[in-house]
Structure formats: C-alpha cells, structure tokens
Structure 1
Amino acid sequence: MSVQQNAEHGSKSSSSSLSSSVPESDDDVTIGTLLAEAKKTSERSLGKRLSHLDSIPHTPRVNGKIPDVDNATLDHERLLERLKTYGLAELQVDGDGNCQFRALADQIFRNPDYHKHVRRQVVKQLKECRKNYEAYVPMDYKVYLKTMKRSGEWGDHLTLQAAADRFGAKICLLTSFRDTCLIEISPKDSPHTKEFWLSFWSEVHYNSLYAVDDLPTRVAKKKHWLF
C-alpha cells in the first residue's frame, strides 16, 4: 500500500459513516459566506506572518507521483518545521481521500463535514467552464469529471484552481516542497474576496491552517439549523 493510501486509509471507515449521514444544501453557500466574513481577522494574521515569502506561479495539474516512505517522511518533517517557524497550526481533517475538500470545507464553513458540498461545487465549476481546465487534464475530460465526482477521489491542483474560481478565494498552500514553501492560487477571472489557508504534505494530505492562537476546538455540528 502506498504512503498516501496508508495515510488516508486509516480513518476511511469512521469518517465515511459520519459524512454519509449529513445532508447537504445549496444554502451552505450563503452560510459559508457569512462564516467567511468572521474569518477575515484570522486571514490577515496569517497573511502577515508569511508576507515576506515569495510564492511561485501556480500551474493547475493533476496529482503527481506519490513519494516513497523515506521522502514522504522528510517532507512531513519539513512541513512541521515550517509550521513551527511561522507559528501556524493544522486542524487535522480525516484522511479518507476527501482531505482536500474537507480542508476547504473547514475554511469556508468551519466544518469539514461539508466536504460533499464543496466537491459538488468544484465539479460543477469544472463542468461549466470546461475550456478553462481541460488542457491540464491528460485523459478524457468526461472521465476525469466522472472520477472527480466520486467521494474519496483525491483532489488535485486543478480542483484547487476550480475551487478558487468557484468561491472567489485566493487559496494559500503552506507546502512540504523543498524549494517552495508557499503556493498561492488566485481566481482566474476576478479578484479574490477571501483567503483559504491549507497545509499540503506533498501528494499525501491536506489540512486546514490557522495561527496557533486561533486554532479552533472543533466539535461536530448538526446541520438541521440550516433548513
């Protein structure tokens, strides 16, 4: 089993039962907008901490080669050291194949359990604006969309670009890459109105990112109040 499969397989059964019992609603977008407003102070704090770092131009791409155990371990140690250096902390999300969407859902809605809604919105963006994305997909685009619709399918850097476009957000990745600490993914056709902060253990796992002092204590929320 690969490093990524090991990392994501462990919590798959427990997390899938939780997420499958939670209904989704298009009202989540409105709720998410309100919650995003409440995060602006935290966003500014993170931005200040990393403002001196140069980010690299982002090229959307599908997932790359999964690193071997030794390289993955070194990557993780490098990421943990960067978190410590900049006073940042990860809100850990389940490694069930949905980690990118869970981390985005936490940043948008302050609840990783909204990951199904985030995935639907991202796939909708990929489908509606096909001409913006299909050149980056080295396979039949319809097959890619069908695959990406499935819960448990790993998100890639193309789905991050689609999420940035869909939600009007700049997505900031603190990475484990040796030569690249920070990647910023901005909407292509409009200025961003919010920022989402994620950590990225290269080709293995995403988590939601906060300043240490702002790291929430997350309790699973019931969603009946949305309806």
Structure 2
Amino acid sequence: MAHTTLVEGECSSSTSLSSQQEIEDDRMIAVVLSEEYAQLDGAVGRRLASLSSIPHVPRINTYIPDLNDATLDHHRLLQRLNAHGLYEVKVSGDGNCQFRALSDQMFRSPEYHKHVRKEIVKQLKDFRTLYEGYVPMQYKRYYKKMAKAGEWGDHVTLQAAADKFGAKICLLTSFRDTCFVEIIPRNQTPQKEFWLSFWSEVHYNSLYELRDMQVRYKPKKKHWLF
C-alpha cells in the first residue's frame, strides 16, 4: 500500500510539473509572438471606414443554412471582398476556423489556434456573469464543450475574444441586411483590430487588404516552439 501511494504521488507530481511547463510554454508563445507580429497597420480598417456596422449581440449558433442559402451567402461575401479590394487567408474548416482566423490575425499564422481557444475559454470561465445570459444551456456545460478542439466558435466566443485580447473584432459578413459587424471589448479601449470574413454560420477566414498579401510574412521559427 505504501508503495502504491508513493507511485501515485510521483505521478501526481509529474503531472503537475508537466501542466506547469505547458502553462509557461503558452505564456512564452503569447509574449514572443505578440511582440513580433501583433502590430496591425490599420489598412483594412481605413478601407472599410465608410461602412456602417450593426450592434453585436453575443449568441450561440442555432441555425445552419441549407446548401442553397449557403451558396448564395458565399457568392454575396465574395462580391463584397472584391468590391473592397480585400483578400482572405483561408484557414482549415475543421471546426476550429474562428480560432484559426483569430490566430492568424494575432500571430500571422493560424497554427496557434489551440492557444487562442484556451485563452478564450479561460475568459468565459473567469467572467461568467458577462456571458452566461447569452447561453441558453447550462453554462459550465457550454464552456467545457467550447474547450474541445473542433467545436465551432460562435458570437459569444467572439465577444470573449474581444474582451480577452483588448481588440475590436470586425467582421465582413455574408449577411443579406448588413455586410459589417463590430465586436467591441467591454470596459476598455481597444488596443488593436482583428479583421475576419464571416460566411454566416459556416466559416471564418482571416482578412487583409489585397496589396498587403504581396508582402505577407511568416513567423520566424523558434527552436523551443518546434
């Protein structure tokens, strides 16, 4: 029995150290990448400054369009992108697209979507009163579900992202009645802007001015990241 207890203690200690190292790695990723790649030049914002936005209401996904509606919506979005000289960096449609698109805006790479999701879920957990009223299910079940890879982000996670990262999130959308939605961080002045395209309730991509894509750069590899 004593031997069993000792082994369990060692496993627990090892797990704790592993978790702590993972936390420290995440912090290092966030700090280093943010310093190098999080500065936006505001070009997309200037190009779309004349567009009128609608107030953002956080909500979970309740409707997925059928094939016909989705096709029409996508055509509408492509027309708007072309009209405003904008370019989508297409991210994988694996259920993580919202987090991948945000990662691309923050770090110039969609590959840090797990870190982005983790930070957004932490925001949901730590500030429950800000978001619970928009979730028509048991709240703990909601954020645990949202913590799983492949779970689609929604308008609640967008608000949590804006709040967590101190960013105004701007969506060029396929909605019929409006093409532009702004998500403003609560109780703080936004320090940056993230621009996403939103094929409504289907997919998110990262958005840039077309001419900027000719000089798009990739993150430098860090030996401790790979």
CA distance in 1, matches of 2:94, 2:141: 21
Change (3 A) 1:190 1:116: same
Residue 25 (structure 1) aligned with residue 16 (structure 2): no
TM-score by length of 2: 0.84
SS of the residue aligned with 1:142?
helix
Unpaired stretches in structure 1, ≥5 consecutive residues: 1-23
Residue 105 (structure 1) aligned with residue 106 (structure 2): no
CA distance in 1, matches of 2:32, 2:148: 24
Give 1:200 deviation, angstroms.
0.2
* Aligned pairs (5 A) from 1:4-23: none
Structure 1 counterpart of 2:9? none
Q: Which has the larger radius of gyration?
A: 2
CA distance in 2, matches of 1:185, 1:126: 16
Give 1:180 deviation, angstroms.
1.1
Residue 84 (structure 1) aligned with residue 85 (structure 2): no
Deviation digits for residues 171-191 of structure 1 (CA, Å, limit 9, x no counterpart):
000000001100000101100
Amino acid at match of 2:29: D
CA distance in 1, matches of 2:136, 2:217: 38
CA distance in 1, matches of 2:119, 2:203: 21
Change (3 A) 1:119 1:223: farther
Give 1:223 deviation, angstroms.
4.5
Q: Supply the RMSD in Å over aligned alpha carbons.
A: 1.9
Structure 1 counterpart of 2:127? 129
TM-score by length of 1: 0.84
SS of the residue aligned with 2:26?
coil
Give 1:48 deviation, angstroms.
1.4
SS of the residue aligned with 1:200?
strand
Deviation digits for residues 20-74 of structure 1 (CA, Å, limit 9, x no counterpart):
xxxx6222221243235532x2x2x111111111100001000130000000000
* Aligned pairs (5 A) from 1:70-81: 70-81=68-79
Deviation above 4 Å: which 4+ runs of structure 1? 216-223
Q: Do the aligned residues in 1 keep the contact of 2:162 with 2:183 (CA within 8 Å)?
A: yes
Q: How many pairs are equivalent? A: 202
Give 1:226 deviation, angstroms.
5.1
Unpaired stretches in structure 2, ≥5 consecutive residues: 1-24
Structure 2 counterpart of 1:95? 93
Residue 139 (structure 1) aligned with residue 159 (structure 2): no
Structure 1 counterpart of 2:116? 118
